Amino acid sequence: MSQSIEEHVRQLVKEVASTLNDRGLILTSAESCTGGWIAQALTSLPGSSMWFDSGFVTYSNSSKQRLLGVPGSLLSDHGPGAVSELVVKAMATGALTNSAGDVAVATSGIAGPDGGSEGKPVGTVWIGWAHRDGRCRAQNHHFSGDRYDVRLKTVEQALQGILDLLDSPRLSD
């Protein structure tokens, strides 16, 4: 029998914790569509205070600006929900700027059941990751299922992306 997504998320949290601990790095999150679920998953593991600094739940565009420094022009240029590559990258780098984190993850998406459009249907999610050394990347996903499924799959991919970022080569100066 295959592992459930919930079980996979718990395993990913353990892998993220181990990797961050081994490297002496601190993580922070900036969440929109996941509403703090990534932070909740991470802090459910005992000892998380050793490698997790803070979680920003920035559901509104004004909170993205106020708490993370996301430029208003990025938010207005990318329509309702601020679901775009540039926005999640700005969220991730803003989380680093406003925390003690070395690594950040950010999410913005349309979890449904409403809010989708032809260009950005329900299930469209952008996830961004940033490292203080300058690495910053984002991925677009199109998840199926109901609101719970979209959000859970986003958490899963966000955690996997942290591991991928930490395993990627450093940018040259």
Over residues 133-146, the pLDDT tens digits come to: 999 999 999 999 99
In which order are the strands placed within the sheet that holds 52-57? 52-57, 27-31, 103-109, 124-131, 136-142
What pTM was computed for the model? 0.94
> What are the mean pLDDT values of the chain's consecutive 10-residue runs (173 residues total)?
86 98 97 97 97 97 96 78 90 98 97 84 95 96 96 98 89 43
Which residue ranges form the domains of the chain, and what is each CATH number?
5-167 (3.90.950.20)
β-bridge pairing 103-109 and 124-131: antiparallel
Q: CB count, 10 Å around CB of 69?
A: 14
15-24: pLDDT as tens digits: 999 999 999 9
Whether 126 contacts 144, CB under 8 Å: no
pLDDT at position 38 is: 98
123 conformational bin, left if phi > 0, alpha if psi -120 to 50, beta if neither: left
φ/ψ of residue 120, rounded to 5: -135, 80
Nearest to 159 by CA among 10, 4, 2: 10
